[in-house]
Amino acid sequence: MASAPAPTVEPDGAEEPQPLVKGTVKRLLGWIIPANFSIFVIWGAVPAVLLQLQITGIDPANKVANITIVATIGAFASMIAQPLAGMLSDRTRSRFGRRAGWMVGGVLIGGLALVGMALANTIVQIAIAWTIVQIAYNFAQGPLSAILPDRVPRAARGTFAALAGMGAMLGALGGQVIGSALSSTIPAAYMLLAGLALVVTVLFVVFNPDHSSKEQVNPPFSLGAFLRTFWVNPVANPDFFWAFTGRLLLYTGYFAVAGFQLLILADYIGLGEKGATSAIPVFGLLSLVGMIGAMVISGPLSDKVGRRKIFVFGSSVLVGIGLIVPLVMPTYEGWMIFTLVSGIGFGMFQSVDQALMSEVLPSKDSFAKDLGVINIAATLPQTLAPAVGGAIVLAFGGYAALFPVAIVLSILGAFAVWPIKAVK
């Protein structure tokens, strides 16, 4: 069997990936949107809407505490799952490549767990099923995120990151719309989401095959080395550390508010549960307008000017500014302004952040594992948002306390990317 062509090494030492097995980079660019959408729509619909409504329906008097507990358990499972999935896929030897089996297996098991949530009628059952959902879909998402450094040339990574971010945000915000629309039929919503992720992921793998990894030689496994990946070393890998920190701070700030949107609208803005559920699709679509516009412009522009940090910095500042509005204007109109401004900022961030991350990874031999660690900074805040928000609300006795915390975190996230040296 002929050996694969050697990767191209650029002047700065970074390696270009092997040529694609099938199709073109443009085809891969197109497929990443539905692939990311099919997974992130679950993160948008379930923790932000369906899970909160399901738990509220079982025990309305203790909804904040119960949501906080369930979200916390699931989030910590998610934190462990992505790096583990990345490590396993990095070391997988298969004729279908390193990632495909984990992606398909993850969405299959995750779909079964969503069916379990549809049948659950106690808080304990929901907590167990949601934890399995978190683990399984992170086993799909971790290897999927490695597609960028695995297969995309560096010159196209800003565009790819913009499209990947667009799929993710379309999913996250579209999930809120779908969750709200199907709030009266929560079991059917879970089954629809499970089926969508399974079908789209299988099609992605079929139409975008990877190089065989059967001949891959893996270094000896070290449990200690794997456990150390959860510690992002600021001395050994300062750029990786600052990129991780910036993403973690911004995501936590944004999703501490956005992920708790249903109860904020119901209780803080004063719309009530029914009014809040009806309003979420309106705000979701408004946010999408801002995000898509920012992504379409920022990603390609970042490739053109060869800079990433200024876009990440500006996006974090915009999100922080947007968060000020509902604090001083707790009205329907104030939430509309927040949604649009933060949507523009978050869209700008999504369009270039993944490209920046791909250029600060510590090792070319462990893309998925390292991206799994990086992705903790994205998925953990999204899934932990109800827990973070709930803890703040319980501690300070009101929703207004969420906004100052989120503003500070977002601004700190902006400054965290400035020390990165490997990326302009």
Q: What is the mean pLDDT of residues 370-378?
A: 65
Measure the CA–CA gap between 136 and 85, rounded to whole angstroms: 9
Res. 118: pLDDT tops 50: yes
Q: What is the chain's mean pLDDT, rounded?
A: 80
Measure the CA–CA gap between 370 and 389, rounded to whole angstroms: 28
Q: What is the mean pLDDT of residues 164-170?
A: 81
Q: Give the pLDDT score at 124.
A: 95
Contact 263, 64 (CB under 8 A): yes
Res. 187: pLDDT tops 90: yes
Indicate the pLDDT class of residue 4, thresholds 50, 70 and 90. very low
Q: Give the pLDDT score at 91.
A: 78
Contact 138, 81 (CB under 8 A): yes
- Cβ burial of 116 (10 Å; 0-12, 13-18, 19+) is middle
Pick from 79, 149, 220: nearest CA to 366: 149
Contact 109, 132 (CB under 8 A): yes
Other C-beta atoms closer than 10 Å to the C-beta of 236 total: 11
Q: What is the mean pLDDT of residues 333-347?
A: 89
Indicate the pLDDT class of residue 319, thresholds 50, 70 and 90. confident
Q: Which of the 8 DSSP states describes residue 155?
A: G
Least confident of 80-84, 100-104, 105-109, 203-207: 80-84
Q: Could you tell me the two tokens for 120?
A: 């659950």
| Residue 159 vs residue 130, higher pLDDT | 130
Report phi then psi at 9, rounded to 5.
-100, 125
Res. 107: pLDDT tops 90: yes
Res. 341: pLDDT tops 70: yes
Q: Which fold has domain 25-213+234-416?
A: Growth Hormone; Chain: A; (1.20.1250)
Contact 53, 180 (CB under 8 A): no
Q: What confidence tens digit (pLDDT) does each residue in 216-275 have?
A: 777 776 677 666 666 666 776 787 788 778 878 888 888 788 777 888 898 889 898 888
Angle of helix 272-305 relative to helix 157-181, nearest 10 degrees, comes to 170
Q: Across 62-66, 213-217, 380-384, which has the greatest mean pLDDT?
A: 62-66
Q: Could you tell me the two tokens for 258?
A: 């956005």
Indicate the pLDDT class of residue 214, thresholds 50, 70 and 90. confident
Measure the CA–CA gap between 370 and 72, rounded to whole angstroms: 23
Res. 13: pLDDT tops 50: no
Res. 148: pLDDT tops 80: no
Q: What is the mean pLDDT of residues 184-188?
A: 93
Q: Across 93-97, 153-157, 335-339, which has the greatest mean pLDDT?
A: 335-339
DSSP-H helix ranges across 91-222: 100-119, 123-145, 147-151, 157-181, 186-207
Q: Strand ranges (DSSP E) for 13-96?
A: none
Q: What confidence tens digit (pLDDT) does each residue in 21-78 have?
A: 666 778 888 889 999 999 999 988 998 889 989 998 998 888 878 888 888 888 778 7
Contact 100, 201 (CB under 8 A): no
Indicate the pLDDT class of residue 157, thresholds 50, 70 and 90. confident
Pick from 87, 220, 198: nearest CA to 143: 87
